[in-house]
Amino acid sequence: MPIKQENEITIRILCSKEELIKHLEEKGLKKGRKFRLNDHYLIPKKLKIEELTVREILSKAVIIRNIDNDGKSVNKITFKNRNINEKGEIVSQTATSCEVLDYTEGIRLFEELGYYEIMNIIEDDIIYYNDKIELAIKDVYNGDLFIETETNKNIQTIEELKKMIESLEIPFEKDNYFVKKAEETLDKILKEKEC
Write out pLDDT tens, residues 142-181: 779 999 998 888 888 889 989 999 999 999 999 989 888 8
Predicted confidence (pLDDT) per residue in 55-67, tens digit? 899 999 999 999 9
Contact 128, 147 (CB under 8 A): no
Question: Has residue 4 got a pLDDT over 60?
Answer: no
Integer distance in angstroms from the first to the last C-alpha of the chain?
A: 41
Q: Residue 82: its pLDDT value, please?
A: 77
Helices within 59-157 (DSSP H only): 103-112
* Average of per-residue pLDDT values in the chain: 90
What's the pLDDT band for 106 if we cut at 50, 70, 90?
very high
Other Cβ atoms closer than 10 A to 1? 7
How many distinct helices (H) and strands (E) make up the chain?
Answer: 5, 9
Torsion of CA 13, 128, 140, 65, to 10 degrees: -140
What's the pLDDT band for 92 if we cut at 50, 70, 90?
confident
How many whole angstroms separate alpha carbon 116 and alpha carbon 103?
A: 14
What's the pLDDT band for 84 if we cut at 50, 70, 90?
confident
Instruction: Tell me the domains of the chain and their CATH numbers.
Output: 3-189 (2.40.320.10)
Q: Residue 6: its pLDDT value, please?
A: 64
